[in-house]
Chains A and B, each alone.
Chain A
Amino acid sequence: MTAIASRATPVRRSRGYMLVLLCLVGVVAYYFLLLIALTLNPATSNAASALALQQVANALSIGAIYALIALGYTMVYGIIELINFAHGDVFMVGAFLSVVILGGVLGQTSQITDLIPLILLLAVALVFVMPLTGLLNVGIERFFYRPLRNAPRLAPLITAIGVSFILQNVALAVAGSGDRSSPQIFPLRDNAWRWEIGGISIPFLSFFIFAVAMVLMVALQQFVGRTRLGRAMRSTAQDREAAALMGVDLNQTIALTFLLGGALAGAAGVVWGLQFGYVRFDLGLNAGLKAFTAAVLGGIGNITGAVLGGFMIGFIEVFAASLGYTRWSHFVVFTVLAFVLVFRPAGILGQQLGERA
């Protein structure tokens, strides 16, 4: 049984939901306490706390990006037990589409310091990119995975790796092999758009990315937990044949899952460009690997777990980098993964998958 279906009654809050809530409350409380400490004693301006504060902001924004991508891995696995290796590359395509809409179509390459136009532009970018990456993901499912749905499990897996290479090489052919600038329309230099505290300044962008991710994730939770289509998704994940017998349209439900996953990856692509200012054809490789790890860490098939895993990977990575071990970040991330899996083979929030694992 997969955990996308674990919340049989959506009103009852599951253990996983509570755990994530606890983590977030913890982070917010930590922020709040630091804030109070810094306000009460600005003269000494506790530099270490301020630095920690800024690193937490970094972790929240990169973690939010990983979490958004991880949701696509976990939903697809939950519903058809496929590790969709092309998913990281759908995210990469989203990042490129964001460059196309912001830089190419709207011709906006520099930062915008007026709030309303900025929000409008970002909304346009998200509204443009998310459906496109969603449809791309649906197309991938329709043409590559659906014909193999009843084939031995290795066949779709290898196909997924193949699709990943196809997307990468198309991007390579279209955009070339170098970095491409992505318009950073969210102001980063302007002090009015940074939170100056204790000798450290944090760009509001970090919080914006976190907020966008949270809104999307809560929306997804509500959709899966409360709507008719969400119920169809959960029942398909629980038992595909039984769901079909109960009148669930399997093809439609699976396509919907890919649509949602692709759209979230597209949103991750948009905020990636804002945060890092560049895109490249092999972006999906690293981000996809990390997000996949996040999904496994949280318990693959579990939506809350993917979010939790994404933020955990973000925090682990930033923690390693802030100590000067950037080149060890993969090592640290995968060591943590290994330890978690030794003690909880199904991931933090995952359930025992039995013979279907």
Chain B
Amino acid sequence: MRLTRIGALASVAVLTFAACSGTGTPGGGDNKGTIKIAIELPMEGSELAASQPIVNGVRLAIKDAGGAAGGYTIVNDDTLVFDDAVDGAHNEQQGATNMNTIVQDPDIVAVIGPLNSSVAKAQIPISNEAGVLQCSPANTNPDLTKGEPAKELRPAGKPNNYIRVVATDDVQGPAAAKYIFENLGAKSVYIIDDTETFGKGVADAFQADFESRGGTVVQRDGVPKTTTDYTSILTAAAAKNPEAIYFGGVTATGGARILKAAVQAGLGDIPYVGPDGINDGSGDTPDSFLNLAGADAKNSYSTLAAIGDFPQKADFDAAYKEEFGIDATGYAGMGYACAQIVIDAITRAAESNPGDRTALREAVRAAGTATDHTYKTILGDITFDANGDTSQKIISIYKYDEATNNWSFLEQIDYAAGGG
């Protein structure tokens, strides 16, 4: 947080400097000056395990694009990484504060983030009013883009500015339900969620699908992230003999703690399944789910609300490993794809030679959310609908692999092609 504030100050200083010197070459040539892409993620504690791969993915994409788009030089240094974590977990108020800072910098033409749907809920009203293109590599709550709740998030009623490259929880939950019911053969399940926008939403979607398949939910609990002792609640659940546990939430809201309490209560040998919130890095990544769970993770499964086995995955993994020295995990590829989309949008926006930064920001927003453009990303060809949702509706299933101490890809379910 402290660093972010300093970062914000520094970016104001850079902006002042740029305003004095950078407007010398309007319109023409290959060098139209510098523009900024901001990243807005929780960068502390367990959330960092999920966020760092995204930051790396974005940086790699900018580097692969030559650090420029449409004649503009792209800047994304550490002062442009806005941190919405407070005391180790994402914080909605901090997310809103960061977005207010971001929209006041006219050089920032697009934002990549946030990680958590609850933070997105606090940010969309601000970014929508300012007309800044926002691409999330990880938000999966359906209410952010669809129906009446989505309208309420946009009181200014400006044109759409929010897109996301991941599928939504109305398929992520059901995909886990399908896998537990059909592949793992568990017919009864215990569901526990963290009571947040994302966690409760995905658990609701899971429960509806699991019950529609004929499965039994032996008990459903909502427990906030401030809880320290989950033992007794898991003991009560264990008495009902579930064949699997589904956790709706993220590592920072109790993912690993609940697993440990389950082991304690004697539920260590049944599958423990969670959404993308616990698929946040290998066992070697500090504070990740696998890192905290240790040996208790042996029966853990997780989903990612995105394509796990994309055509250029091997090349991406190799390039990522060479650049950062670690394996690409979680939503690294989705961060890369978001950056590709933003860069593509900047390139197309620049063709109309916007007069100033305000016009450029609006042109990038319009180009980025266009529904008739097909983006060529490493995840494959993507188009966005009028709500900002991706045409790629794929959920990938992962299992913990003790040999590699990491999540290993099992299969993916394509809901756009009528899967599930």
Q: Which of A47, A59, A277, A317 contacts B260, CB < 8 Å?
A: A277
Least CB distance from B210 to A in Å reads 19
In this assembly, does B186 line the interface, its C-beta being within 8 Å of a C-beta of chain A? no
Interface size class of A (residues with CB under 8 A): 35 or more
Contact with A along B66-81 (1 / 0, CB 8 A): 0000000000000000
B interface list, Cβ under 8 A from A: 44-48, 85, 87-88, 195, 219, 221-224, 226-233, 235-236, 238-239, 241, 252, 256-257, 260-261, 263-266, 268-269, 286-287, 291-292, 294-296
Q: How far is A109 from B219 in the complex, measured between Cα atoms in Å?
A: 33
Q: How far is A178 from B89 in the complex, measured between Cα atoms in Å?
A: 8
Q: Are B231 and A109 in contact (CB under 8 A)?
A: no
Q: Which of B85, B227, B239 contacts A177, CB < 8 Å?
A: B85
Least CB distance from B401 to A in Å reads 18
Q: How far is A178 from B256 in the complex, measured between Cα atoms in Å?
A: 12
Q: How far is A110 from B402 in the complex, measured between Cα atoms in Å?
A: 14
Q: Are B228 and A276 in contact (CB under 8 A)?
A: yes
A interface list, Cβ under 8 A from B: 47, 50-51, 54-55, 58-59, 61-62, 109-110, 172, 176-179, 181, 184, 188-189, 194, 199-203, 205, 275-278, 280, 282-283, 286-287, 317-318, 321-324, 326-327
Q: Are B231 and A275 in contact (CB under 8 A)?
A: yes
Q: How far is A61 from B265 in the complex, measured between Cα atoms in Å?
A: 13
Q: Can you list 12 residue pairs at the A/B interface with Cβ under 8 Å?
A: A54-B265, A55-B235, A178-B286, A179-B287, A184-B260, A205-B264, A276-B229, A276-B231, A277-B257, A280-B88, A324-B219, A327-B222
Q: Are B264 and A188 in contact (CB under 8 A)?
A: yes
Q: How far is A135 from B295 in the complex, measured between Cα atoms in Å?
A: 34
Q: How far is A50 from B236 in the complex, measured between Cα atoms in Å?
A: 11
Collect the chain A residues with CB atoms within 8 Å of residue B239's CB. 47, 50-51, 54, 199-200
Q: How far is A103 from B267 in the complex, measured between Cα atoms in Å?
A: 25
Q: Are B235 and A287 in contact (CB under 8 A)?
A: no
Q: How far is A324 from B190 in the complex, measured between Cα atoms in Å?
A: 13
Least CB distance from B307 to A in Å reads 29
Given the known A-B contacts A51-B239, A58-B235, A321-B233, are A179 and B227 also in contact in the complex, defined by CB atoms under 8 Å?
no
Collect the chain A residues with CB atoms within 8 Å of residue B87's CB. 172, 177, 282
Given the known A-B contacts A177-B44, A276-B229, are A322 and B235 also in contact in the complex, defined by CB atoms under 8 Å?
yes
Q: Are B257 and A276 in contact (CB under 8 A)?
A: yes
Q: Are A179 and B232 in contact (CB under 8 A)?
A: no
- Find the A residue at minimum CB distance from B260: A277
Collect the chain B residues with CB atoms within 8 Å of residue A109's CB. 294
Contacts A110-B294, A179-B88, A277-B296 supplied; 7 other A-B pairs, CB < 8 Å: A51-B239, A54-B239, A62-B229, A178-B45, A326-B227, A326-B232, A327-B195
Least CB distance from B375 to A in Å reads 34
Q: Are A321 and B260 in contact (CB under 8 A)?
A: no
- Find the B residue at minimum CB distance from A280: B88
Q: Are B260 and A62 in contact (CB under 8 A)?
A: no
Q: Are B235 and A178 in contact (CB under 8 A)?
A: no
Q: How far is A287 from B228 in the complex, measured between Cα atoms in Å?
A: 9
Q: How far is A256 from B98 in the complex, measured between Cα atoms in Å?
A: 49
Please list the 9 inter-chain residue pairs (A to B) with the smallest Cβ-Cβ separation, ordered nearest first: A178-B45, A177-B88, A178-B287, A321-B232, A51-B239, A177-B45, A318-B232, A201-B266, A277-B260
Q: Which of A58, A110, A199 contacts B295, CB < 8 Å?
A: A110
- Find the B residue at minimum CB distance from A283: B228
Collect the chain B residues with CB atoms within 8 Å of residue A323's CB. 236
Q: Which of B233, B252, B265 contacts A178, CB < 8 Å?
A: B252
Q: How far is A287 from B227 in the complex, measured between Cα atoms in Å?
A: 11
Collect the chain B residues with CB atoms within 8 Å of residue A51's CB. 235-236, 239
Q: Are A317 and B229 in contact (CB under 8 A)?
A: yes
Q: How far is A278 from B221 in the complex, measured between Cα atoms in Å?
A: 22
Q: Are A179 and B256 in contact (CB under 8 A)?
A: yes
Q: How far is A327 from B221 in the complex, measured between Cα atoms in Å?
A: 10
Q: Are A178 and B228 in contact (CB under 8 A)?
A: no
Q: Are A176 and B235 in contact (CB under 8 A)?
A: no
Q: How far is A62 from B233 in the complex, measured between Cα atoms in Å?
A: 13
Q: How far is A317 from B232 in the complex, measured between Cα atoms in Å?
A: 9
Collect the chain A residues with CB atoms within 8 Å of residue B88's CB. 176-179, 280
Least CB distance from B188 to A in Å reads 15
- Find the B residue at minimum CB distance from A282: B87
Q: Are A176 and B266 in contact (CB under 8 A)?
A: no
- Find the B residue at minimum CB distance from A272: B228
Collect the chain B residues with CB atoms within 8 Å of residue A278's CB. 256-257, 260, 292
Q: How far is A278 from B296 in the complex, measured between Cα atoms in Å?
A: 13
Q: Are B228 and A54 in contact (CB under 8 A)?
A: no
Q: Are B264 and A275 in contact (CB under 8 A)?
A: yes
- Find the A residue at minimum CB distance from B88: A177
- Find the A residue at minimum CB distance from B265: A54
Q: Which of B48, B231, B238, B286 contacts A200, CB < 8 Å?
A: B238
Which of A194, A277, A278 is packed against the most chain B CB atoms within 10 Å? A277
Q: Are A324 and B46 in contact (CB under 8 A)?
A: no
Q: Are B235 and A181 in contact (CB under 8 A)?
A: no
Q: How far is A146 from B295 in the complex, measured between Cα atoms in Å?
A: 46
Least CB distance from B256 to A in Å reads 7
Given the known A-B contacts A178-B286, A179-B287, A203-B264, are A286 and B233 also in contact in the complex, defined by CB atoms under 8 Å?
no
Q: How far is A176 from B219 in the complex, measured between Cα atoms in Å?
A: 35
Q: How far is A277 from B287 in the complex, measured between Cα atoms in Å?
A: 13
Q: Are A286 and B228 in contact (CB under 8 A)?
A: yes
